[in-house]
């Protein structure tokens, strides 16, 4: 019970931080501009200490539970973006190594404790039976794409390696997907970070339109291309909730 309360407090805290940052970006982008400039100065002062920081962020956000709570990818965009201006290849290599390690630790944890953990605590992370059924089926049918592309989403980045271990995926196969996915993620995030820190003032000036465009794209994609799958998911989730209520 105490762990559940602590988890809820952490998730609420990070939710408030994320929503607060978005509101701040919409209402007072000048404050975010000043904060990013300050972070750039801190990164410059840290020097070579940025390497273990980048590796630690990449590793932590790839680990189950921890990865869903930490705003690691946002931190990577800023820290790696500023540091990559002095060492692009080294920054990518360190981010790649950290992500590979985090994924491997999550995979090993999943092999040993995955199913019992998810049966007991999966609902805490919005991974009930409906979500796990879809993820398990996706991993078994398209394991490569789930592990590789899963790096680019907060929830899947933290739990796909864990679930891959729980599903019994071969270690050698996972390592191949892990290496490819972590390298692709490191390159994309670090390069995006360098562009962001170079043009963040322009990005923040247009942030309202960028957010609206992303929301419109997502809703349009679900409506035109994934409507049937989304409705099926809602039906399964409704049945799961009803079963949970009836069992209480």
Note every long-range contact of 28-34, with CB atoms under 8 Å and residues 24 or more positions apart, other chains counting.
Answer: 29/204, 29/205, 29/207, 32/204, 33/200, 33/201, 33/204
More reliable by pLDDT, 192 or 124: 192
Of 22-26, 169-173, 174-178, which gets the smallest average pLDDT? 22-26
Residue 46 and residue 155 in contact, taking contact as beta carbons nearer than 8 Å: no
Listed in sequence order, the DSSP H helices in 28-71 are 29-46, 50-60, 66-69
Q: What is the pLDDT of residues 96-140, one digit of tens each?
A: 999 999 999 989 988 887 777 777 766 666 666 666 777 777 777
Q: Break the chain into its structural domains and give their ranges.
A: 35-201, 206-248
Who contacts 65 (Cβ-Cβ below 8 Å, separation ≥6)? 125, 158
- The model's pTM is 0.68
Closest C-alpha among 19, 189, 158 to residue 88? 189
pLDDT at 76: 83
């Amino acid at each position: 019970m105490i762990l559940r309360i602590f988890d809820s407090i952490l998730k609420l805290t990070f939710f408030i931080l994320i929503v607060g940052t978005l509101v701040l970006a919409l209402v007072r982008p000048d404050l975010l501009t000043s904060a990013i400039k300050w972070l750039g100065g801190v990164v410059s002062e840290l020097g070579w200490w940025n390497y273990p920081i980048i590796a630690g962020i990449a590793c932590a956000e790839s680990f189950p539970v921890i990865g869903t709570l930490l705003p690691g990818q946002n931190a990577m965009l800023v820290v790696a973006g500023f540091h990559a201006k002095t060492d692009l290849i080294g920054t990518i290599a360190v981010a790649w190594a950290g992500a590979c390690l985090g994924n491997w630790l999550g995979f090993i944890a999943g092999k040993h404790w995955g199913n019992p953990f998810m049966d007991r605590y999966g609902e805490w992370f919005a991974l009930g039976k409906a979500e796990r059924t879809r993820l398990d089926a996706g991993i078994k049918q398209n394991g490569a794409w789930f592990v590789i592309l899963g790096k680019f989403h907060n929830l899947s980045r933290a739990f796909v390696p864990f679930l891959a271990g729980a599903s019994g995926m071969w270690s050698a196969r996972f390592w191949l997907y892990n290496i490819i996915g972590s390298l692709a993620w490191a390159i994309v995030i670090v390069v995006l970070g360098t562009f962001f820190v170079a043009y963040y003032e322009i990005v923040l000036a247009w942030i309202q339109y960028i957010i609206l465009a992303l929301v419109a794209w997502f809703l349009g994609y679900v409506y035109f291309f994934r409507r049937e799958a989304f409705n099926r998911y809602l039906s399964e989730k409704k049945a799961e909730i009803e079963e949970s209520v009836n069992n209480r």
